[in-house]
């Protein structure tokens, strides 16, 4: 019986050691590279400052991350694309309880929403093309 406990303990120790020393799985996000960043681009709806980043995610795709600051909140959009066109487009909005953009610590409430855009919609495609026009064509070429 003692030899079974010893064997079991040894196997558990080896299994835990193997898990603790193995390399973490690689993610394409950790390999992301910002190719270009622009600020205060023309956007609709109008924002009080914004940032647009062209990010090369991996060999197959790039992403434009747009963050715009609205009165009392902000919106972040992710536009994923490759040489064949737009793959996906999403938006995340966070609205604070008042126009100052300061989160009321007493209520600690914000309104959050997310949207997945229909990438087949011609208006969405048009917005994507306008967003791409803010970046250097040489940097966009790195996404193809």
Whether the Cβ atoms of residue 43 and residue 49 lie closer than 8 Å to each other:
no
In b/e form, how buried is each residue of 39-71, taking b as 16+ CB within 10 angstroms?
A: eebebeeebeebbbbbbbbeeebbbbbbebebe
Paired tokens of 107: 């209520």
Q: Mean pLDDT, to the nearest integer, of 48-62?
A: 89
The pLDDT of 39-44, averaged and rounded, is 80
pTM higher than 0.75, yes or no? Answer: no
Phi, psi of 120 (to 5 degrees): -85, -15
What is the DSSP code (8-state) at residue 25?
Answer: P
Give residue 14's pLDDT. Answer: 35
Tell me, what's the pLDDT at 6?
35
CA atoms within 13 A on the CB side of 39: 3
pLDDT tens-digit series, residues 75-118: 999 999 998 999 999 999 988 776 555 555 555 567 889 999 99
CA separation for the pair 64, 75 (Å, rounded): 13
């Amino acid at each position: 019986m003692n030899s079974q406990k010893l064997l079991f303990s040894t196997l558990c120790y080896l299994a835990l050691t193997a898990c603790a020393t193995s390399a973490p799985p690689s993610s394409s996000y950790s390999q992301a590279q910002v190719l270009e960043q622009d600020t205060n681009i023309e956007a609709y709806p109008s924002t009080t400052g914004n940032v647009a980043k062209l990010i090369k995610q991996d060999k197959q795709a790039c992403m434009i991350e747009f963050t715009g600051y609205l009165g009392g909140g902000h919106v972040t959009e992710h536009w994923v694309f490759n040489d064949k066109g737009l793959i996906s487009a999403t938006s995340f909005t966070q609205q604070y309880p008042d126009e100052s953009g300061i989160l009321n610590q007493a209520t600690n409430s914000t309104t959050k929403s997310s949207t997945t855009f229909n990438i087949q919609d011609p208006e969405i495609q048009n917005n994507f093309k306008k967003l791409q026009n803010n970046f250097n064509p040489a940097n966009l070429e790195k996404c193809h």
